[in-house]
């Protein structure tokens, strides 16, 4: 490993090790206390019984599935609607009841230490007709098999949320700003991160939001989605824009909200089975199995959307599900921009156990197969408008994914899970724009060497086409085993996963004489077209072990612990059998102490790692076009330009994983129908990928000319050999793990009981996040170009990086008025932006420089105590960096939704985003911009299609 990377990682690991050690000591003490007080006694278990009936008719509901969330316990109701679950663990659980044609029911239950519990359930055709309907994430929910802080969003809340994509569903978790439903712009999610100021180039000006989005794992139906192979960018100097998430996370617009069944957002420390992440995991399940067919439509002034969903179970062992979605969003105003999405999925599920016989035949299937084929196509079209002649852009992104998941029950205690998937996508974009440049000499060489160049510049229209074809192969094998040892029941998971990604697209194409960069770049010249198919593939291997166990402590308290370790390896050569480029061990630990059914304490600590992208591992070559002769005559035929092209590979062989060390603690309280969750967290991320300037120099030959005769109509001739040489300093844009980010904050979620007289309930979500980002390395002033081209300037100063910070405090209050007998729900949402601050921190005085670069490319540091000496007077020019605090005015927006049941189980919704059209203001360098998007009003309707015979 490179020395700088090693020092960088060791220093931060030592700092985080102290925090992890303190947390581990607390948890070990907790475990020791539990063992000492229980002597290894297993938890008591009980019997849960009840009857499921229809709400309106009181008739029994047979063949409804009854289960305990987070366990393998489940059964079917008999012909009288009765059910019976044995060996239910002591403590608080969520009872889940579902049946085709009825709304999902989730009921909090408290299982006593001994004996039985009776719980009757009423089911309704629509969730709007159920008492206590939930329209937000569970404040104290748990992702399946996870102890880390998480938000669980069930289908009931998803259907109640006005959302065109997964991004809208995620607005139900703390700290996510509200946005109008639609497909207007690229949609990414940034967990536990505050926006900070930054540049416009995502490859050179890493921002906290892009780092967070890139480091957030998105798992769709058990298979990770990846943005590692997205190369839709012009590199470090591109001036043209593309509608792309390159350098960031997955564009969430690809996943329609109406086809989602369940979302789990792990905001804390995920278990060891999840890798390739630094900020959290989002687990998305789409609708599958027997689903009542329904057609949903939505329209407002900007967006139109249609969704068709239906599934049928047949032969007792098979189920087929079809989902399809089409949506279109057009911008308002003078532009005619449009975004169109098409998506669809065909799912087949097979279980070896026939469930047609009712509860007596409800046995765990020996084999379960889940097969899916899904497709999406997302198109952004921004045509030319009269106010911007010559400017237009277009992009389309599509992918076809095939996946297979298999679960084999080897015995009552052992299960084998195998997941395999292949995804192939296409990313085609083009952008054109009028650029203005001075007349300059251009070279079209693709290899090092000298050639006669051409003169170009002035006003010209440039166009760049980027054609990518990213693909990913993924396979995971996991053995889950339930074992009892040391007097405790353990849920063990051993797993391995392989991933290989590449991009076989045609790449970046443009006319070399009409380059996409017009700004002066000195000797650096211009980028060249690049074939993506020549970029090496990307392969990783992951191995993990995870254990979860719990026991009863003194006074009925319970302790739950989940511990694991993961090893991720990044390979050279794009093959799993090739050498290991980098490897990271990732210990993770979560613990929960349930002092009583009403009070729980939580803590967690762990390490996560994210691989660099293909673009960072294999950046485009750096071209430097050094002008040997630049004879410019009025007559074009008499002009002569001779250029020597130097080519450098800016790849960094030591580039490796980004490391995130995280720690959190929290408390959960349930009392009198209220639920409250408070979490405090601190994250430290090191080694995020960006670009570091590396000083160097090239030697330029100088030539004499002969036959210089204006009016001859012929260019002059160069005289060999060269008459001399000079040295030009240059900067190579080297990929590097040179960005560190600290983050911390507080999250609060509170759900209060219903106010009976008003038939209303209130929920509150608050999130404060503070982020600071520091790019290790050096920065050069704008006058570097002048230094490069003028031999009379002997040196130029360089500066240390700037720390960029941001703070955000959001408070979201939801008031839900519910009349179940009318099937009516009115939801009012007020989101307060109480604090929005961004600031750059760094020295800007005359002594701010850290050193200087000589003309031969040598970097010389200057100690602070010596910078005031007379010999450094030429370096003391001050630094032009905006360090004033930029603050947004505290403001709020109001959104309203009214949902009403329709005959035959349909639903009609009216929504108003930012109903009062409050603009909010946020300061920028150019002035003020809107903090909130403008008002948007619309209607949404869902109608069952049971008459088509698509469901059993």
**Residue 204: band (very low, low, confident or very high) from pLDDT cuts 50, 70, 90:** low
Give the phi and the psi of residue 519 in degrees, each rounded to 5.
Answer: -70, 145
Pick left, alpha or beta for residue 855 (phi over 0 → left; psi -120 to 50 → alpha; otherwise beta): alpha
Structure tokens at 311: 């599934």
Structure tokens at 189: 């999610």
Contact 61, 77 (CB under 8 A): yes
- The per-residue pLDDT for range 615-630, each reduced to its tens digit, is 999 999 989 999 999 9
Total residue count of the chain as it appears in this document:
952
Contact 493, 545 (CB under 8 A): yes
Contact 730, 644 (CB under 8 A): no
Measure the CA–CA gap between 21 and 17, rounded to whole angstroms: 6
* Ranges 60-64, 253-257, 306-310: which has the least confidence: 60-64
Average the pLDDT over 923-927 and give the result: 48
Output the 3-class SS for 608-654: EEECCCHHHHCCCCEEEEEEEEEECCCCHHHCEEEEEEEEECCCCCC
Measure the CA–CA gap between 239 and 701, rounded to whole angstroms: 31
Percent of the chain predicted with pLDDT > 90: 52
* Ranges 623-627, 646-650, 750-754, 878-882: which has the least confidence: 878-882
Query: Which is higher by pLDDT, 875 or 919?
Result: 875
Structure tokens at 453: 């160049």
Provide the pLDDT for residue 363. Answer: 57
Measure the CA–CA gap between 604 and 588, rounded to whole angstroms: 8
| Residue 558, pLDDT above cutoff 90 | no
| Residue 701, pLDDT above cutoff 60 | yes
Provide the pLDDT for residue 476. Answer: 97
* Ranges 5-14, 79-88, 463-472, 709-718: which has the least confidence: 5-14
| Residue 240, pLDDT above cutoff 80 | no
Provide the pLDDT for residue 373. Answer: 97
| Residue 561, pLDDT above cutoff 90 | yes
Tell me the whole-structure pTM to 2 decimals: 0.88
Measure the CA–CA gap between 912 and 930, rounded to whole angstroms: 18
- The per-residue pLDDT for range 41-68, each reduced to its tens digit, is 333 457 889 999 987 788 888 888 888 8
| Residue 25, pLDDT above cutoff 50 | no
Position of tokens 């890139």?
214
> What is the H or E stretch that residue 304 is in?
strand 303-314
Provide the pLDDT for residue 75. Answer: 86
Contact 670, 598 (CB under 8 A): yes
Q: Among 67-71, 393-397, 512-516, 688-692, name the most confident range.
A: 393-397
Provide the pLDDT for residue 198. Answer: 63
Give the phi and the psi of residue 357 in degrees, each rounded to 5.
Answer: -85, 0
Q: Among 244-253, 433-442, 678-687, name the most confident range.
A: 678-687
Measure the CA–CA gap between 736 and 778, rounded to whole angstroms: 12
DSSP 8-class letter at 931? S
Q: What distance lies between CA 474 and its chain's CA centroid?
A: 19
The DSSP string of 829-840 is EEEEEEEEEEEE
The mean pLDDT of the chain is 86
Average the pLDDT over 915-927 and give the result: 66
């Amino acid at each position: 490993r490179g020395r700088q990377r090693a020092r960088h990682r060791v220093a931060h690991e030592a700092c985080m090790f102290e925090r992890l050690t303190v947390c581990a000591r607390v948890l070990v003490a907790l475990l020791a206390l539990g063992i000492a007080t229980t002597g290894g006694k297993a938890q008591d278990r009980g019997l849960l019984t009840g009857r499921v009936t229809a709400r309106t008719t009181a008739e029994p509901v047979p063949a409804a599935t009854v289960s305990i969330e987070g366990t393998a316990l489940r059964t079917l109701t008999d012909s009288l609607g009765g059910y019976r679950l044995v060996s239910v663990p002591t403590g608080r659980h969520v009872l889940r009841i579902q049946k085709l044609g009825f709304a999902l029911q989730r009921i909090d239950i408290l299982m006593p230490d001994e004996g039985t519990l009776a719980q009757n359930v009423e089911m309704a055709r629509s969730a709007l007709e159920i008492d206590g309907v939930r329209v937000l994430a569970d404040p104290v929910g748990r992702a399946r098999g996870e102890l880390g802080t998480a938000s669980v969003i069930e289908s009931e809340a998803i259907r109640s949320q006005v959302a065109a994509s997964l991004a809208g569903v995620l607005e139900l978790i703390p700290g996510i700003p509200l946005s109008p439903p639609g497909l207007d712009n690229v949609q990414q999610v940034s967990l536990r991160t505050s926006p900070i100021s930054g540049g416009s180039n995502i490859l050179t000006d890493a921002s906290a939001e892009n780092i967070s989005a890139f480091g957030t794992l998105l798992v769709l139906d058990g298979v990770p989605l990846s943005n590692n192979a997205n190369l839709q960018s012009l590199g470090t100097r591109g001036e043209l824009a593309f509608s792309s998430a390159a350098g960031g996370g997955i564009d969430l617009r690809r996943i329609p909200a109406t086809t989602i069944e369940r979302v789990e957002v792990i905001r804390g420390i995920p278990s060891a089975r999840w890798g390739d992440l630094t900020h959290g995991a989002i687990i998305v399940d789409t609708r599958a199995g027997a689903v009542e067919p329904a057609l949903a439509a939505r329209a407002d002034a900007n967006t139109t959307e249609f969704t068709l969903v239906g599934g049928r179970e047949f032969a007792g062992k098979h189920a087929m599900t079809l989902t399809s979605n089409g949506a279109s969003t057009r911008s308002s105003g003078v532009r005619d921009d449009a975004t169109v999405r098409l998506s669809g999925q065909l799912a087949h599920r097979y279980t070896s156990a026939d469930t047609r016989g009712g509860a007596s035949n409800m046995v765990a299937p020996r084999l379960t197969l889940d097969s899916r084929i899904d497709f999406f196509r997302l198109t952004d079209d921004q045509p030319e408008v009269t106010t911007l002649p010559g400017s237009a852009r277009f992009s389309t992104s599509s992918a076809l994914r095939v996946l297979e998941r298999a679960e084999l029950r080897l015995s009552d205690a052992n299960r084998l899970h195998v997941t395999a998937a292949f995804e192939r996508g296409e990313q085609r974009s083009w952008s054109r724009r009028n650029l203005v440049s001075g007349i300059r000499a251009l070279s079209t060489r693709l290899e090092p060497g000298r050639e006669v160049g051409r003169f170009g510049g002035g006003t010209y229209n440039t166009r760049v086409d980027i054609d990518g074809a990213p693909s990913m192969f993924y396979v995971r094998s996991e053995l889950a085993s339930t074992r009892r040892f040391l007097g405790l029941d353990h849920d063990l998971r051993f797993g391995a996963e392989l991933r290989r990604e590449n991009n076989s697209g045609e790449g970046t194409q443009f006319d070399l004489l009409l380059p996409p960069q017009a700004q002066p770049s000195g000797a650096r010249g211009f980028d060249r077209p690049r074939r993506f198919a020549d970029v090496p593939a990307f392969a990783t291997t992951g191995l993990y072990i995870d254990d979860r166990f719990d026991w009863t402590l003194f006074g009925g308290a319970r302790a739950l612990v989940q511990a694991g370790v993961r090893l991720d390896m990044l390979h050279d050569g794009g093959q799993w059998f090739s050498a290991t480029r980098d490897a990271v061990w990732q210990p993770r630990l979560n613990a929960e102490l349930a002092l009583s059914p009403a009070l729980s304490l939580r803590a967690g600590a762990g390490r996560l790692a994210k691989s660099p992208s293909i673009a960072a591992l294999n950046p485009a070559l750096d071209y430097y076009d050094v002008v040997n002769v630049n004879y410019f005559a009025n007559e074009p035929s008499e002009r002569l330009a001779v250029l020597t092209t130097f080519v450098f590979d800016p790849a960094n062989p030591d580039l490796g994983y980004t490391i995130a060390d995280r720690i959190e603690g929290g408390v959960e309280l349930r009392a009198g129908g209220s639920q409250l969750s408070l979490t405090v967290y601190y994250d430290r991320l090191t080694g995020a990928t960006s670009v570091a300037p590396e000083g160097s120099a090239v030697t330029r030959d100088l030539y004499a000319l002969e036959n210089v005769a204006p009016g001859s109509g012929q260019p002059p001739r160069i005289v060999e050999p060269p008459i001399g040489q000079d040295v030009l300093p240059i900067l190579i844009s080297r990929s590097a793990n040179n960005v560190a980010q600290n983050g911390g904050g507080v999250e609060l979620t509170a759900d209060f009981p219903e106010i009976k007289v008003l038939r209303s309930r209130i929920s509150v979500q608050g999130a404060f996040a503070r982020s600071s980002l520091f790019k290790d390395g050096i920065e050069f002033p704008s006058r570097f170009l002048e230094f490069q081209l003028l031999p009379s300037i002997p040196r130029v100063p360089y500066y240390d990086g700037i720390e960029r910070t941001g703070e955000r405090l959001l408070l979201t209050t939801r008031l839900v008025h519910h009349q179940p007998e009318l099937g009516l729900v009115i939801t009012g949402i007020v989101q307060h932006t109480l604090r929005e601050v961004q600031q750059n921190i760094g020295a800007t005085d005359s002594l701010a420089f850290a050193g200087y670069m000589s003309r031969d490319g040598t970097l010389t540091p200057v100690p602070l105590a010596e910078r005031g000496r007379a010999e450094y007077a030429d370096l003391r020019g001050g630094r032009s960096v905006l360090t004033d605090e930029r603050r947004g005015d505290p403001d709020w927006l109001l959104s309203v939704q009214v949902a009403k049941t329709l005959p035959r189980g349909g639903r009609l919704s009216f929504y108003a985003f930012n109903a009062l059209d409050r603009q909010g203001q946020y300061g920028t360098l150019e002035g003020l911009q809107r903090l909130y998007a403008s008002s948007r009003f619309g209607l949404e309707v869902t109608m069952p299609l049971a008459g088509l015979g698509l469901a059993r």
